[in-house]
Structures are given as C-alpha cells and as structure tokens.
Structure 1
Amino acid sequence: MPETAKEKEELFTMLEVAKIVGCSKSTVYRVVKENHLRAKKKKGQAKLYDETLIKLVRTKIDDINSSKEPFQRISIETLQKQLDIKDKQIEQLNEQLKMAQINLNQSQQLALEQSKKIKELEAPKETAESVKETPKKKSLFERIFGI
C-alpha cells in the first residue's frame, strides 16, 4: 500500500525539536502554548509535531535575540568604557608606585649617609694634637744636670 504525503511527513517530539533548534524543552513548550498548537499525532504519551513547530521556535528565538542586541551593545560599550577608565587608573597607580620606589631609594641612601656620619662623629678622633706626644715631665735630676 503506497504511503500518502501525510504519512511521509516527518514528525518530532518536543525534545527532538529542542535539540534540533538548540534550545530547552520548556522554550518549545512555551511556543506551543502561546500559538495554541495541537499535536499532529500521538505516539503513546508523546505528542508529535511537524516542521512548522521548528520554524516557529526558530523565529521566536531570533526575535528574542534581536530584541536583546541593542541592550547587549549598550552593555558592551559601557563595559568597554569602564575598562578604559580602569586601565588609566592602573597606569596612574603604576606611575605613583615608580615615584614611591624612587623616593624610597633616596631615603635609604640618605639614611645610610647619616649613619656613616654618626659613626664618624662617635669614633674617637685622631687629630694632630692627639698624635703629638705630650712632653714628659723631666725629673729633678734631669732638670739640674740638663741631661
């Protein structure tokens, strides 16, 4: 017995439609409910739908995506501006860090010089006076006889 055009028509379950379109089963169910679609056939408890459901689900997803595009574009632009601001702040902080390192190096050098000067001042000085021998006191005998 030859098959008629209706019998050759491919039918899909909601889960199969969801896999084909790349969405969730609940999205397919929502499209069926919104458009008041009826199943073409039932196989056990599974309801079978034709390709019109696939087309409807795709158009619904395209509509959702196109309505989100302006919002996404605005969000991306906003985030890009925020990133630019953060990049400038990072550059400023890096400059401040460089200056702080330079100041730290200078202060360490000054502290080192000061400690050297303090050590020099605390160390006993050997001047020409201290190097000169103080004349010995001559004894009485040396003074009388001039020896």
Structure 2
Amino acid sequence: MSETVKNNRTLYTMLEMAKIAGTSKSTVYRTIKEKHIKPTKHKGQSNLYDEAVLKLIISKIEEDSVSHDPVQRISIEALQKQLETKDKQIDQLNEQLRMAQINLSQSQQLQLQQAKKIRELESPEENQDIQKKPESIKKPTSKDVSDDTKTKKKDSWWRRLFS
C-alpha cells in the first residue's frame, strides 16, 4: 500500500510501481539500479520511492517498448505473411482432398456398376447351363451299362468294399 509523507507526497514500493506501470518487479528493480536511484524512505525491509521515480519508471518502460517496436512490427509482419502463405496452402490441400473424395466416390460407383454387370452376365450362363444339362443327360444304353460293369470288375475288392 502506498504511504503518504508529511508534505502530502505519496510513496510507493517497487511492487506497487510495477503494478501501476504494468510491468514486473524485476524490471522496476533493474531500472532503479541502472539510474542509481536512492529510495526516499525505508520502512522495515521495503524501500519507498516518490512519484518522480514512478514517472521515471513509466517513461523508461515506454521508451523501451518504442525502441523495440520496429523490430516487433517487422516480426509481426513476417509472421502474418507466413500465416497467409500457410492459409493458402491449407486451402489448396483442402481442395485436393475434396477432389480426391469425389474421385473415390466415382471409383466406388464404377466398381459397383461393374460388379452388377458381372453378376448379370454370370447369371444367364448359369441358366443356360441348367438348360443344357437336361439335353446332355442321355438314357443309359446297354453299352454304357456294360462299360460300367467292366470298370467295377477292374476295381479292387477294397474299392468295392468302401464304395
């Protein structure tokens, strides 16, 4: 908490000045150390500084931020260009992915149509085979029967046993 001295001057600790300036306590400490600023008053282990020191700290922080600003601006611009490039690349990849999905869908449709046509072509052949079988089946003749008996005689007794 800031403290008021007899002549209405407000005194601040390093932490209070850091909060007011919007920076860290170590930055305030470094600035005080660089400028060789002596505390206005000691209260226990805390050093108290007046408003002039606070204004000096704030001006030093603003000066540092302005001196870094061109570098930051250039860095930000470079990063923005990189982001734009990456966005374009992402858009291109998304377009390629969309086209690949369309091609895949078309390929699957063609494969289904081919499979359907193959099934259609195979099914009439089966019907034709069934129609041909009754014609190819003949009534056994005496010659065919005699051939069968000859083959049976030639079979060993093991075959006759298990057939």
Under a length normalisation based on structure 2, what TM-score does the superposition of the two structures give?
0.67
Aligned to 1:41: 41
CA distance in 2, matches of 1:92, 1:16: 52
CA distance in 2, matches of 1:10, 1:58: 16
Shift >3 Å, 4+ stretches: 124-127
CA distance in 2, matches of 1:75, 1:62: 19
Judged with a 3 Å threshold, the aligned counterparts in structure 2 of structure 1 residues 110 and 64 are, in CA distance, closer, same or farther, namely: same
CA distance in 2, matches of 1:76, 1:104: 41
For structure 1, the 5+ residue unaligned runs are: 135-147
Judged with a 3 Å threshold, the aligned counterparts in structure 2 of structure 1 residues 19 and 109 are, in CA distance, closer, same or farther, namely: closer
Aligned to 2:61: 61
CA distance in 2, matches of 1:60, 1:88: 41
Q: CA deviation at 1:106?
A: 1.9
| Secondary structure in structure 1 of the residue aligned to 2:10 | coil
Q: CA deviation at 1:6?
A: 6.8
Q: How does 1:14-93 map to 2 (within 5 A)?
A: 14-93=14-93
Aligned to 2:158: none
| Secondary structure in structure 2 of the residue aligned to 1:37 | coil
CA distance in 2, matches of 1:10, 1:105: 76
CA distance in 2, matches of 1:13, 1:98: 62
**What's the C-alpha RMSD, in Å, of the aligned pairs?**
2.5
The structure with the greater share of residues assigned to helix is 2
Number of positions where the alignment pairs a residue of Structure 1 with one of Structure 2? 127
Aligned to 2:97: 97
For structure 2, the 5+ residue unaligned runs are: 136-163
Judged with a 3 Å threshold, the aligned counterparts in structure 2 of structure 1 residues 45 and 109 are, in CA distance, closer, same or farther, namely: closer
How much identity, in percent, do the aligned residues show? 60
Letter aligned with residue 33 of structure 1: K
